[in-house]
């Protein structure tokens, strides 16, 4: 889906652990500005953190593109994580819960996929990987009277 009528993408370099914190902060700020609730913000920041770490550790660094979306009916956030690393040799295996190519819990890609509504991975061995995650603002429940 093409974004329309929203601010341009923010690009954040990913080359060190300090950059991971910057990605999380940018995602949180953008999600809050778009009207995502606290639980949704936390899910987005968690997904971004996992995907940014993968970009750094497995892709040798790269960048994140954080793009607000507005399709006329809903607002959302697209996060793309791009590296020029070795790529993912077996994407199906990498998307399996519990699979890890490092010392982690093996929930990075599959866990991030569960935290968003749309998820895609483009990878080619020797040419890098782009992971894109999109989430849409869910409707805010009507306030209940009598609660302060």
CATH number at residue 38: 3.30.565.10
Q: Which pLDDT score, from 0 to 100, does residue 141 have? A: 47
Tally of domains within the chain: 1
For the stretch 113-133, pLDDT in tens is: 999 999 999 999 889 999 999
Does residue 147 belong to any structural domain of this protein? no
43-to-3, 7, 62, 91, 107 alpha-carbon distances in Å: 21, 22, 22, 23, 14
Does residue 22 belong to any structural domain of this protein? yes
Does residue 20 belong to any structural domain of this protein? yes
Q: Which pLDDT score, from 0 to 100, does residue 96 have? A: 76
Does residue 141 belong to any structural domain of this protein? no
Does residue 145 belong to any structural domain of this protein? no
Does residue 2 belong to any structural domain of this protein? no
Q: Which residues span the domain enclosing 14?
A: 10-136
For the stretch 42-99, pLDDT in tens is: 999 999 999 999 999 999 999 999 999 998 899 999 999 999 999 988 888 877 766 5
For the stretch 89-108, pLDDT in tens is: 888 887 776 656 655 544 57
Nearest to 92 by CA among 121, 52, 57, 129: 121
Q: In sequence order, what DSSP letters do the residues of 104-145 get, joined into one string? A: S-S-HHHHHHHTSSEEEEEEETTTEEEEEEEEEPPPPPPPPT
Instruction: Look at the pTM and tell me if it is higher than 0.75.
Output: yes
End-to-end Cα spacing for the chain? 39
Q: Which pLDDT score, from 0 to 100, does residue 15 have? A: 98
Does residue 116 belong to any structural domain of this protein? yes
Q: What residues contact 98, with CB distance under 8 A and at least 6 apart?
A: 105, 106, 107
Nearest to 43 by CA among 140, 134, 95, 112: 112
Cα dihedral 106, 78, 30, 116 in deg (nearest 10): -50
Does residue 1 belong to any structural domain of this protein? no
Nearest to 70 by CA among 116, 141, 8, 142: 8
- Please tell me what DSSP assigns to residue 79: E
């Amino acid at each position: 889906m093409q974004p329309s009528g929203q601010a341009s993408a923010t690009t954040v370099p990913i080359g060190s652990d300090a950059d991971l914190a910057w990605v999380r902060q940018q995602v949180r700020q953008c999600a809050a500005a778009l009207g995502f609730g606290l639980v949704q913000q936390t899910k987005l920041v968690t997904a971004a953190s996992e995907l940014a770490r993968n970009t750094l550790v497995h892709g040798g660094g790269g960048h994140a593109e954080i793009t607000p979306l507005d399709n006329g009916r809903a607002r959302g956030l697209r996060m793309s994580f791009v590296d020029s690393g070795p790529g993912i040799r077996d994407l199906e295996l990498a998307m399996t819960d519990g699979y890890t190519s490092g010392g982690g819990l093996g929930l990075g890609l599959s866990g991030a996929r569960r935290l968003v509504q749309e998820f895609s991975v483009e990878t080619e061995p020797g040419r890098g990987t782009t992971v894109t995650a999109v989430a849409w603002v869910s409707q805010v429940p009507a306030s209940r009277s009598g609660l302060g």
